[in-house]
Structures are given as C-alpha cells and as structure tokens.
Amino acid sequence: MSTFRVLQFNMQFGQIWDDTYPDRAPVRLDATIEEIRRHQADVILLQEVEQALPGGVQIQQPPNYTRLRAELAGYDSWFAYPKADPRELPFGIGLAIFSRTPLRDTMRLELPSPSIEFDFFGKKTTPTDRVMIGAKTTVLGRELQLFNAHLLAFFMLGSSSTLNPFQRNLVAEQLAAARGPTILTGDFNVSKHHTLTAQFGACGFTTVQETEVTWRRRPFVLDHIFHNPSLRCVAHSVAHSVVPTPASDHHALVADFEFV
C-alpha cells in the first residue's frame, strides 16, 4: 500500500437528516458509525461529536466519543471540547481524531469568538469560543501532522470571517509553522470559501476540492481537507456524489494521499 485515506466528517452529534424537519430529526449514532465505517479511512477527523447540554455542562466521559472509541476498535484517538461556557447553544461541540496508527504530541488551541450580539429565540446572546486540535502519527513510515478545526459560522450572525478573521488567522499561524507532511481538516463555516482557500494557500496549503457542496442546509462548501506540498491527493469524493448518507446535515469528504 502506497496511499492512505482521510475522512473529514461533521457528524452533527449523530442527528440524522430529515428533508422535511431537519431540526426535529432523531439522534441515531448507529447511522453515524455506519457512515464512518463504510469509508474505510486510515485517519478520521470529526467535528460536532457531542450535543451541547444546557448551561454549558460537559460530560467528562463524552458519550458519543466513548461509543465511537468502543466501536472503532483498532484506532487510536484524541478528543477535546471547546472551553466550557454557560452560553453554549444546543448544537454540536467537540472534535475528535481517530487513526489506525498511534497518535502522539496531541494539542488543543482555543479559538476565541468576538462579542457579536445576536438573537436566539428571543434572547440576546453572544457566540462561544471554538477549538482546534492536533496530533502527530506515523503513516507508511513517514511522520504526519494532523489538525482538525471547527470555526464559528459568522454568516449565521449577519457577519463574516473575512471581517472577523481572528480564528482563521490562528489556524493559519499553525499552518505556517508546520514542518513536514501536514493535513488540516474541518468545518470552517465560511460561506464564501474562496477567501479561506486563498488565505491558507498563502501558507502553502491546498484544499482537495472546492466545487461540490458539503452542507445540506445551504449550497456552501464548508468542509475541507487541506494539505501541504509534502502530500499529493490522488483521489477524493464528497459522499453525496457517491452514496448519499442520511447521517448529519454535512456530507462526508474523503481523500486518498501519497507522500511526495
């Protein structure tokens, strides 16, 4: 084997997709696990692993992550919540990395959010912080740096990450400092994604695709797998173009890589 496979997936805490009432769809983690398994990836990077609880409570044995870790036997893993915050809304939080090869040098980086006031069901609030995680592993005898991020959806707040680039800049700093083969995946929540790919391109990173929509709710390319020149993408696919999945409001993104 000369290639390895990477899966990028915002799993929306296991909530399946319903075309009629997506926000009322049930949580079925079995569907999430089936979707993850069918891609047979060597490295799996997930966002929105857990559903946020009232008051920003964070269960320290994260239930979905704990189940995934048990089901994905043979993978090493790393998980992190964002900073606990009582303002947390009942959406998805928490990032995870799974790898068939052992992980080491794990890290997490806080991505602070600005105090942009918005209305949520009649209540004024401001956004909570996000997080970026990372780890190293050895694949095919080569060291590989992995990063995984989930940025704030400024477009949902009537703004943009171009006007508020701080989170993106922190991620870009990690990319600029990276040495050797490096992959960054995530849900970057940038509606006009060309500004994002240009910024990370200036750090030497290329996205595997930016034409196929990855979000079901709006026709946006929110999810990416970025890589630097030490890696060559030899194949990629967005799940809906192959076998659509009922799991999540995001489509899974898969890419096969070889070392240069």
> What would the pLDDT profile of 93-129 be if each residue is shown by its tens digit?
999 999 999 999 999 999 999 999 999 989 999 999 9
**Cβ burial, residue 22 (10 Å; 0-12/13-18/19+):** middle
Question: Is it the case that residue 13 has pLDDT exceeding 70?
Answer: yes
Geometric angle at alpha carbon 90, from 183 and 245, rounded to 5°: 55
Give the 3-state DSSP-derived string for the chain, with helices as H, strands as E and coil as C.
CCCEEEEEEECHHHEECCCCCHHHCCECHHHHHHHHHHCCCCEEEEECCEECCHHHCCCCCCHHHHHHHHHCCCCEEEEECCCCCCCCCCCEECEEEEECCCCEEEEEEEECCCCCCEEECCEEECCCCEEEEEEEEEECCEEEEEEEEECCCHHHHCCCCCCCCHHHHHHHHHHHHCCCCEEEEEECCCCCCHHHHHHHHCCCCEECCCCCCCECCCCCCCEEEEECCCEEEEEEEEHHHCCCCCECCECCEEEEEEEC
- 146 near 99, Cβ under 8 Å? yes
242 has pLDDT over 70: no
Look at residues 169, 230, 229, 231 and name the one whose alpha carbon lies nearest to residue 195: 169
209-220 per-position pLDDT tens digit: 999 999 999 999
Q: What is the pLDDT, as a whole number, of residue 245?
A: 74
The whole-number average pLDDT for the span 23-52 is 97
The model carries a pTM of 0.97
The C-alpha atoms of residue 159 and residue 162 are separated, in whole angstroms, by 9
Instruction: Evaluate if residue 24 carries a pLDDT over 90.
Output: yes
- The residue range of the domain holding 110 is 4-259
Number of domain units in the chain: 1
Read off the pLDDT band of 241 (50, 70, 90): low
Q: Mean pLDDT of all residues in the chain?
A: 96
Distance, in Å, from the CA atom of 96 to the CA atom of 80, rounded to the nearest integer, reads: 7
Residue 51 has pLDDT above 90, yes or no: yes
pLDDT at residue 69 greater than cutoff 80: yes
pLDDT at residue 188, as a whole number: 98
How far apart CA 111 and CA 114 sit, in angstroms, is 10
Q: How far apart are CA 110 and CA 130, in angstroms?
A: 6
Task: Please check the confidence at residue 231 and state whether its pLDDT lies above 80.
Answer: yes
pLDDT at residue 239, as a whole number: 87
Q: Indicate if the pLDDT at residue 205 is higher than 90.
A: yes
pLDDT of residue 246: 84
CATH of the domain at 81: 3.60.10.10
Q: What is the pLDDT of residues 179-201, one digit of tens each?
A: 999 999 999 999 999 999 999 99
